Chains A and B, each alone.
Chain A
Amino acid sequence: MGSTDNMRLEVTVRRSDADGGYDQIFKVPAYAHQTVLDVVSWIQQYSDPTLTYRFACRVGMCGSCAMMVNGAPRWTCRTHVNKVLNGDRLHIAPLRNLPVVKDLVVDMDPFFDKWIAAEGLHHPTRTRHDPIVSIDPENPQRGEANAGIECINCSVCYAACDTVAGNSDYLGPAALLRAWTVFNDEKNAGKQDILDAVSGSSGCHNCHSMGSCSHFCPNALNPMTAIAGLKRETAKTIFRRRKDA
């Protein structure tokens, strides 16, 4: 990839420094088939080895290479440059709504902490000594669980969410999608724990249903629908509790 005969792309990369960061422009060769991650890797390997970024699998499975590309959150390993170019220009920045560690690397801790806060964990119904629960794949509730199970934790939806941008405590689409997925799993025992966890002041009721999460999700998942499901179930608990009281 060392060719310099076609340095057509003008790539602006957001770099970090003590003063809050600056934009640096690189000339990068254009190829017929290249991803945004290829472009970032070319810069790091041939132009500026100090450029810091994060990736692992390069095939859209690990969820570690997401960045803002021309203002929109993308999984860079599976984003074709030609599909997102603005003329011959590309602007690459760290993911929105998360603190920057260095250059294009963000601290994912707040993102994963919120998964835990939303009770997006497995609450077992049985021990390892019990037989495995048999799951009916045709069950509609199983369908809801299956719909969200392919989340790769890339944080693209979290970066896309304007509610997170305005309300940093909000749990965000990924954590709530996971909570909804676990809630619908027959093997999960903590249904009420999940509903309580997403009903607090940072919970699912802060969502304005703007839909950026579902629009930008690289795996075509639908966190907005999952959040609507949580709103529905939590609303039901109010009336159920009244009846039980």
Chain B
Amino acid sequence: MLDLRLYMAQRISAMVMIPLVLGHIAVMIYAIQGGLSSAEILSRTQGSAFWFLFYGVFVVAVSVHAAIGLRVIVHEWLGLRGIALSLLTWTICLVLFVMGARAVMAVTLL
């Protein structure tokens, strides 16, 4: 159910997320200190290659990490296996990626 390939994908995506989570939380706390408005935040993020890459990589890592984690829970708790389990894993991964990518594009593209 969880082979070496999936195990490594989940561990590596977790390692990628560690600095990104810390960066995200730090920015969230910092950004609201002076009462920044949405427009002011968007003026900083739109057109920024840095924030596009920061949250773009974050979304990819989250999609991979969460899909594998949920795959384990669904298999062990609900007994789903085989093709149905793989299909669910890929669906979760894809849904999270599409939702995240939409948000990243909305906030960082001009």
Q: Does A1 contact B (CB under 8 A)?
A: no
Which residues from B are CB-within-8-Å of A184? none
Residue of B at shortest CB range from A162? B76
User: How many positions in chain A have a CB within 8 Å of any CB in the partner chain?
Assistant: 17
Residue of A at shortest CB range from B7? A205
Interface residue from B1, B8, B72 paired with A169 (Cβ < 8 Å): B1
Which residues from B are CB-within-8-Å of A235? 4, 7-8, 11
Residue of B at shortest CB range from A238? B8
In the complex, how many residue pairs between chain A and chain B have their CB atoms under 8 Å apart? 35
Give Cα A170–Cα B76 distance, bound, in whole angstroms.
11
Q: Shortest distance in angstroms between B86's beta carbon and chain A's nearest beta carbon?
A: 10
B77, A205: Cβ atoms closer than 8 Å: no
Residue of B at shortest CB range from A207? B2
B4, A167: Cβ atoms closer than 8 Å: no
B3, A199: Cβ atoms closer than 8 Å: yes
Q: Shortest distance in angstroms between A219's beta carbon and chain B's nearest beta carbon?
A: 28
Q: Which of B2, B3, B6, B76 has the most CB of A within 10 A?
A: B2
For window 1-44 of B, CB contacts with A under 8 Å fall at: 1-4, 6-8, 11
A205, B75: Cβ atoms closer than 8 Å: no
A238, B4: Cβ atoms closer than 8 Å: yes
Interface residue from B1, B6, B11 paired with A167 (Cβ < 8 Å): B1
B7, A163: Cβ atoms closer than 8 Å: no
Closest 8 CB pairs of A and B: A166-B76, A205-B7, A199-B4, A201-B3, A206-B2, A205-B2, A201-B1, A234-B4
Given contacts A163-B76, A166-B75, 20 further A-B contacts (CB under 8 A): A166-B76, A167-B1, A167-B75, A167-B76, A170-B1, A199-B3, A200-B3, A201-B1, A201-B2, A202-B1, A203-B3, A205-B2, A205-B3, A205-B4, A206-B72, A231-B7, A234-B4, A235-B7, A235-B11, A238-B4
